[in-house]
Amino acid sequence: MELRELEWFNTLAETENMTAASARLNISQPTLSRALARLERKLGVKLFDRRQNRLWLNRYGAIFQAHAMRAMNELSKGEERIATLVDPDQGQVSLGFLNSFGEWLIPDLVNPYRELTPRTSFELRGGASDAVTDDVRQGRIDIGFVAPEPTAEDLDWVPLGSQRLCLGVPEGHRFAERDHVTIADLEDEPMVALKVGYGLRYVTERLCRQAGFTPRIVIEATELYTLPPFVSAGWGVAVVPEPQPGQQTPTPVIPIDDPSAVRPYGMLTRRGGPGGQAARRFLGFVTARWKDVGLAREAVPQVAAVATEAG
């Protein structure tokens, strides 16, 4: 069985769509279709059910996919192990993260590491918390940086710190001159928030449930930096992370007076840690150095303002 057949099958199993898979692989649909037919003849079973011009991975396909993914991962580990023996500082690490973390957390982690190991390369991918978690679970990325900790018994979590939460309000809002608010104050307020699947949306809903009400969300967005314009326009208020030091913000922000109004963040890996040596070295570096840095950042009082982040 050819290595490329495994790669093609894994892509097709992921997309369950011949057009999407062939486009991602940069091959023609007839070529991919013939390769799938050869693979199914070798195995003696159909790996997909065909319904209404759609492909659906069946139970045979799911079994083969699990083994095919392990095979590809093992080959990748072998390549990296040899590369590491030749050059211990060489290798690639793939990171997934909330888009907002690309503004401060990821540079703060990657830049000092690259000073120590300049031949290590990084593949970076931003997205929603659910998407990052799924990418880690499926082995598409080595390490994910999300907030808050997801409910995932099959993954390992390394806490790094937490961000205090504040309330962004329009100019002239009745809360604008207050030095703090409580979550209970928001019961009758229209709110703008991220869509379901983003960590901050989960935290916002949790805080409101604890206060005994359901948030009245009037606008949903997929990027946190788009919330302040809606707040400024008077659509509603928004629960946002406290800004990073020196970060300029467009609207007033009031601290939320609630000890649970925080957004814990950390690293996510597959159970037992990432498979590649380069990723394991980076994981160890972050675990050893960032916890102290993160705790120190939390201890520094910061000016309240709307954070222009995207995750």
The CATH number of whichever domain residue 55 belongs to comes to 1.10.10.10
Query: What is the token pair recorded at 262?
Result: 């925080």
Number of domains in the chain: 3
β-pair type (216-221, 91-98): unpaired
Residues found in the chain: 311
- Pair (8, 32) in one structural domain: yes
CA-to-CA distance for 28 and 22, rounded, in angstroms?
6
CA-to-CA distance for 248 and 244, rounded, in angstroms?
9
Instruction: Tell me which of 95 and 80 has the higher pLDDT.
Output: 95
Pick from 23-32, 75-84, 177-186, 190-199: least confident: 75-84
Choose one of 81, 115, 131: the last residue of a domain: 81
Q: In the chain, helix, strand, coil percent, each to 5?
A: 45, 25, 30
Q: Find the domain containing 14 and state its range.
A: 3-81
Whether residue 81 has pLDDT greater than 60? yes
Residues 133/152, Cβ–Cβ less than 8 Å: yes
CA-to-CA distance for 12 and 25, rounded, in angstroms?
9
- Pair (135, 270) in one structural domain: yes
Averaged confidence pLDDT in the chain: 85
**Peptide bond connecting 148 to the previous residue in cis, omega within 30 degrees of 0:** yes
- Pair (288, 145) in one structural domain: yes
Give pLDDT, residue 165.
Answer: 95
Q: Could you tell me where the DSSP H helices lie in the chain? A: 3-15, 18-25, 29-43, 59-86, 105-116, 129-137, 199-210, 227-232, 277-299
Give pLDDT, residue 302.
Answer: 36
Give pLDDT, residue 293.
Answer: 53
Our CA dihedral for 289, 295, 299, 301, rounded to 10 degrees, sits at 80
Query: What is the token pair recorded at 306?
Result: 């709307």
Residue 7 — pLDDT band, cuts 50, 70, 90? confident
- Pair (228, 170) in one structural domain: yes
- Pair (105, 57) in one structural domain: no
Pick from 55-69, 75-89, 99-113, 233-247: least confident: 75-89
Q: Give first-to-last CA distance, the chain, whole Å.
A: 42
pTM for the full model?
Answer: 0.66
- Pair (289, 144) in one structural domain: yes
- Pair (235, 185) in one structural domain: yes
Whether residue 248 has pLDDT greater than 90? no
CA-to-CA distance for 141 and 285, rounded, in angstroms?
18
Query: What is the token pair recorded at 113?
Result: 């590491």
CA-to-CA distance for 201 and 306, rounded, in angstroms?
16
Residue 218 — pLDDT band, cuts 50, 70, 90? very high
Residue 297 — pLDDT band, cuts 50, 70, 90? very low
In a domain, 309, yes or no: no
Residue 222 — pLDDT band, cuts 50, 70, 90? confident
Give pLDDT, residue 245.
Answer: 73
Instruction: Tell me which of 131 and 299 has the higher pLDDT.
Output: 131
- Pair (108, 46) in one structural domain: no
Report the CATH number that the domain containing residue 148 is assigned in CATH: 3.40.190.10
Whether residue 45 has pLDDT greater than 60? yes
pLDDT in tens, 131-176: 999 999 988 899 999 998 988 889 999 999 999 999 999 999 999 9
> Across residues 58-71, what is the average pLDDT?
89
CA-to-CA distance for 251 and 241, rounded, in angstroms?
13
In a domain, 308, yes or no: no
